[in-house]
Chain A
């Protein structure tokens, strides 16, 4: 195999715009027809919207197809065919892997995939890793505790698919991970920007080891936008002496965007596998000109078990210039995902909705109603503190038990660990209008 070839798929990644759009329309009609035929949820949605797959004969006509939001998926799940419900398009026996969203915006959405879907997931990731210079000679370290969330699973399989030697660095602490990278002379690393910076701090301060002296040459980031924030990218690249690249994806969608080794300050959309539309936040009208910012509506064109068609990602993107020096014809989003359409924020790479914390606080017996959440940074790492009132005084043993219950529930519902501080009743601020219980002090630092 020729390792100098710059593209994972030299055919698709250099299609002309006309050919690419023809392929997208062909695929869009196919996935729409598939969903219409096999999913009660989708068929009902389209019938109610007065749309039949036969009517969609241009990319402009795609806008007639009703969008899907996460909130529409939550109520149809946990029903037969259990647990996916009416959006499942394959026999339950063909589902080979379960994933779920984090649940920070409410009930988690379950995501089934077949072997074929999983091949597709890992191929999307292989596209981005190859574009970032990963080759079979690489030894790739993944310092992440794989679990029910999709994070880094597809990265792992894509790394294997490329032929890299892939090291699962799951249940190790940070120091052990750094020492394992050193021991095995790993050449590439994947993690959130926060963790990449945190690892560098740990290496320097606790192991007295310069991370730039390790053989890591490239780092792929996920979960947070930091790898395309110039100052953060610079800080990571200087700390590790490595190139740092971004990618974008989601459980319900797939890995749809990637930064290539030319580092254009933008993400390429993998347009052979995804149809990305950008719409105005207020009017919903399509945006197409470089410099325009809007909300990303996206379709995964080849994912079949639970199709993702015109999914409202809530991601805010900015349309970039047409071409990149890497030669790919895929469109660019400048700065990657530059924000979220709702008020959800990311902490330690995890999407967090303040309402999810409130839900937990107010469901735990022994706690008062008032609380305060403070997100800040300790060094380069996000730090989240929950201050909460006790409903009544309690003995130390009962307090310890309450603390354990709260920590467990918060971890389950928000996928985050917190510094917990308890206060007597009526000691935290009260608000008469528009409570400000969530304070993100990181924003002041930007």
Chain B
């Protein structure tokens, strides 16, 4: 099993990823290629959150 420090660091990285993906998504209303791809990234980021969710 991953150590607690390692899990905490991964969770931080996922939060940072979510923030950047959200920023891209919100900035791309008139840019479908970026908007739709960043939306998919956000879906993957949610799965990362589920995979690392703290009990």
A residues bordering B, Cβ < 8 Å? 9-12, 14-15, 19-20, 22-23, 26-27, 114-116, 118-120, 123, 273, 302
Contacts and interface: CB of A to CB of B under 8 A. Distances in A.
Interface stretch (B13-21, B25-33, B46-54): B46-54
A10 B10 CA distance: 13
Contact of A120 (B39, B40, B42, B47): B47
B51 A123 contact: yes
B7 A115 contact: no
B55 A23 contact: yes
A302 B7 CA distance: 20
B5 interface: no
23 contacts: A9-B51, A11-B1, A11-B7, A11-B52, A14-B1, A19-B55, A20-B55, A22-B55, A23-B53, A23-B54, A26-B55, A114-B43, A115-B39, A115-B40, A115-B43, A116-B43, A116-B47, A118-B43, A119-B44, A119-B47, A120-B50, A123-B47, A123-B50
Contacts of A26: 55
Contacts of A11: 1-2, 7, 51-52
A35 to B, nearest CB: 17
Size class of the B contact interface (CB-based, 8 Å): 10 to 19
Contacts of B7: 11
Contacts of B40: 115
A302 B43 contact: no
Interface SS majority for chain A = helix
A368 B7 CA distance: 67
Interface of B: 1-2, 7, 39-40, 42-44, 46-47, 50-55
Nearest to B3: A11
A12 B2 CA distance: 10
Nearest to A24: B55
A386 B30 CA distance: 57
Nearest to B41: A115
A15 B2 CA distance: 11
Nearest to A123: B47
A10 B52 CA distance: 10
Contacts of A10: 1-2
- Which of A10, A22, A23, A302 has the most B CB atoms < 10 Å from its CB? A302
The 7 closest A-B pairs by CB, nearest first: A115-B43, A19-B55, A23-B55, A119-B47, A116-B43, A14-B1, A116-B46
Nearest to B47: A119
A14 B50 CA distance: 15
A27 B54 CA distance: 11
A11 B4 CA distance: 10
Contact of A302 (B1, B39, B50, B55): B50
A12 B43 contact: no
Contacts of A23: 53-55
A378 to B, nearest CB: 43
A19 B52 CA distance: 13
A240 to B, nearest CB: 33
Nearest to A19: B55
- Which of B7, B52, B53 has the most A CB atoms < 10 Å from its CB? B53
